[in-house]
Chain A
């Protein structure tokens, strides 16, 4: 069965990977000239279903809890399993109790335990929630890793607009926000982020700073970089980050540790997360096209489960010889 996957973000590449593993003949088409140019490239890469359950419905936990294993199997060595630390400023410690009451899979840490986990945060917070089972990865590295592995397996990638795509039995449309206005009920939720660069502080895991209005997270990356994200604004405007949003992101980083005040702002960016009204992703079929969309803020977390769902549907129609290659 010949499959065309449209879109080379996290949704498209995980579907391509999953279908390839199941023996399908897959081509990936991406209208940009590189992978991960949409919202995926601005993602936090947190595999944090327990934390996300604070504001997301149950499927985010049940579908997302195996995501770290999926990514580890696909890209050995890329998944960092160091948990998530959740803290709040002195005035907002009530937020920690609220967060705890909405979630599971955490333990309370006292000041000493926080310092043992993250020495650079020692003495800054009296207590924190620690989600031991959670993990994170670098989205850009993961997407280029998947692409490299698929190219090595001789999968065809068609970059740029207007390429003749030939004939396919099925199209799997993973073009995300590009389908807003075309897929029923799909809307955009803008997310803004920035990268800070400093050698003066080290973190080993994502840290979430709770705040009643502007909850922000900081995810450590390679080369002394820290991804600070992300705003949630109900619009599909993909323009540059606003001054207000940047101020909120920087304020949060500064509140986590004043050292971030001396960091370099290495990059800013904004992406549009496609979302359905329940903020959960869907796999929907229209004729020969299967749409995988609506990942909201859970692309890396839920893409493996949705890719599995696509594979199940296509295998039910046309069983393929399983590939055992890694």
Chain B
């Protein structure tokens, strides 16, 4: 069980809804992933249109909790406006906050992020900030009122998996009581399992499922990997060693040699 703000969910997978081959395949991926939370980008999907858009109707029809995001926002003002729009469209105080510094690399603008988090928290939002693995920025986000942190493990869409496990490890150690969700950079189920083994609470991903050859099957694979990683963390993995260690006594040698 995972508690994010005041909401408790069973699944530790948060799934993005962009770039699936079709809404039908997205719905199937959501079903097979058993996810209870999907993220939705407001920016590109609402250039206007009637009735708030058929796409949003489909998202609501998935029957899962929606975490709207401010993907593609490049300034504090833009992100705050988008968050307010999202609150109206989806009737939720949850917001996945992205303030992007570079259109090209999609690296977060951590200064703008902290400022926007302050503004939104004061306005009653429950903020899920997409951030780097920088510990000081994370502290500022907590000070700003965030009760969940979402560090990347590699650049968005890069599919590289955890490029700096040491940073993720110290991030977890630094904030033992804050729900931590790895957001961005996951490419394969093994990556998701690896960060769960480090003790992360959940994983948010999109491209790794949406662009897979068979998105629905990949969604299920991720669900299984997350369960495995979480179980492994709970079970306490053994530590790596430099030398081989026979698991049974070697015949012909003294046991305590």
A-to-B contact residues, CB < 8 Å: 55-57, 98, 101-102, 180-181, 186-188, 190, 212-213, 233-237, 239, 242, 275, 277-280
Q: 1/0 contact trace for B19-56 toward A, CB 8 Å?
A: 00111110100000000000000001111111101110
Given A212-B157, A242-B47, A277-B27, A234 contacting B55 (CB threshold 8 A): yes
Q: Which residue of A lies closest to B27 (CB)?
A: A277
Question: A102 to B213, Cβ gap below 8 A?
Answer: yes
Q: Which residues of A contact B213 (CB under 8 A)?
A: 101-102
**Residue in A closest to B210 when the chains form the complex, CB atoms:** A55
Task: Pick the contact of B55: A56, A187, A278 (CB < 8 A).
Answer: A187
Can you add 12 more A-B contacts, CB < 8 Å, to A98-B211, A234-B53?
A56-B21, A56-B22, A181-B50, A187-B53, A187-B55, A212-B157, A234-B45, A235-B46, A275-B22, A277-B58, A278-B23, A280-B22
CB distance from A189 to the nearest CB of B (A): 9
CA–CA, A275 and B26, complex, Å = 15
Known: A278-B24, A279-B22. A236 touches B53 (CB 8 A): yes
Per the bound structure, the CA–CA distance linking A239 and B46 in Å amounts to 12
Chain B residues whose C-beta falls within 8 Å of the C-beta of A242 in the assembled complex: 47
Residues from chain B with a CB closer than 8 A to the CB of A56 are: 21-22
Q: How far is the CA of A185 from the CA of B44 in the complex (A)?
A: 21
Tell whether, in the assembled complex, residue A213 and residue B157 are in contact, meaning their CB atoms are under 8 Å apart.
yes
Nearest opposing residue in chain B for A54, CB measure: B21
Q: Min CB distance, B51 to chain A, in Å?
A: 7
**A19 shortest CB reach to chain B, Å:** 29
Interfacial chain B residues near A187, Cβ < 8 Å: 23, 53-55, 58
Report how far A212 CA is from B207 CA in the complex, Å: 9
Chain B residue at minimal CB-CB distance from A101: B213
A213 to chain B, nearest CB (A): 7
Q: Is the CB of B50 within 8 A of A233?
A: no
Expressed in whole angstroms, the Cα–Cα distance for A212 and B48 within the complex equals 25
Rounded to whole Å, the gap between the CB of A91 and the closest CB of chain B is 10
B158, closest chain A residue (CB): A212
- Neighbour of A279 across the interface among B21, B45, B58, B207, CB < 8 A: B21
10 closest Cβ pairs, A-B complex = A187-B54, A237-B48, A234-B55, A279-B22, A235-B49, A278-B24, A237-B49, A277-B24, A277-B23, A234-B45
- In the complex formed, the residue of A with least CB distance to B50 is A236
- Residues of B near any A CB (own CB < 8 A): 21-25, 27, 44-51, 53-55, 58, 157, 207, 211, 213
Chain B residues contacting A239 (CB-CB under 8 Å) are 47-48
Separation of A213 and B44 alpha carbons in the complex (Å): 12
Report yes or no: A55 in contact with B47, Cβ–Cβ below 8 A. Answer: no
- Of the candidates B22, B44, B49, B211, the one whose C-beta lies within 8 Å of that of A277 is B22
> Is the pair B47, A237 in contact by a Cβ cutoff of 8 Å?
yes
Minimum CB–CB distance for A31 against chain B, Å: 18
B41 to chain A, nearest CB (A): 10
CB distance from B55 to the nearest CB of A (A): 4
Partner of B54, one of A57, A188, A279: A188
Please, could you name 15 A-B residue pairs with CB atoms under 8 Å apart, sorted by A?
A102-B213, A186-B54, A187-B58, A212-B207, A213-B157, A234-B44, A234-B55, A235-B46, A235-B55, A236-B54, A237-B48, A239-B47, A277-B27, A277-B58, A278-B25
Q: Is the CB of B53 within 8 A of A235?
A: yes
Task: Check B21 against A55 for contact (C-beta < 8 Å).
Answer: yes
User: Bound state CA distance, A242 and B72, in angstroms?
Assistant: 15
Q: Are A181 and B51 in contact (CB under 8 A)?
A: yes
Q: Are B23 and A235 in contact (CB-based, < 8 A)? A: no
CA A292 to CA B45, docked complex, whole Å: 26
**In-complex Cβ contact of A57 among B22, B55, B157 (8 A):** B22
Interface core residue of B44, B51, B211 (most chain A CB under 10 Å): B44
* Chain B residues whose CB sits within 8 angstroms of the CB of A279 once the complex forms: 21-24
CA distance A278 to B49 in the complex (A): 21
Task: From the candidates B47, B51, B58, B157, name the one contacting A233 in the complex (CB within 8 A).
Answer: B47
Quote the shortest CB–CB distance from A93 to chain B (angstroms). Answer: 14
Residues of B contacting A235 in the complex (Cβ-Cβ under 8 angstroms): 45-49, 53, 55
A190→B47 contact, CB < 8 A: yes
CB distance B53 to A278 under 8 Å? no
* Complexed CA–CA distance, A187 and B211 (Å): 22
Residue of A nearest to B17 (CB): A234
Within the complex, the shortest CB–CB distance from A319 to chain B, in Å, comes to: 36
A212: chain B residues within 8 A (beta carbon): 157, 207
Distance between Cα atoms of A11 and B61 in the complex (Å): 30
Q: Which residues of A contact B25 (CB under 8 A)?
A: 278
CB neighbours of B50 from chain A (8 A): 180-181, 236
Q: Give chain B nearest CB distance to A239 CB in angstroms.
A: 6
Interchain nearest-CB distance for B30 vs A (Å): 13
Determine how close the nearest CB of chain B comes to the CB of A124; give it in whole angstroms.
20
Closest residue on chain B to residue A56 by CB atoms = B21
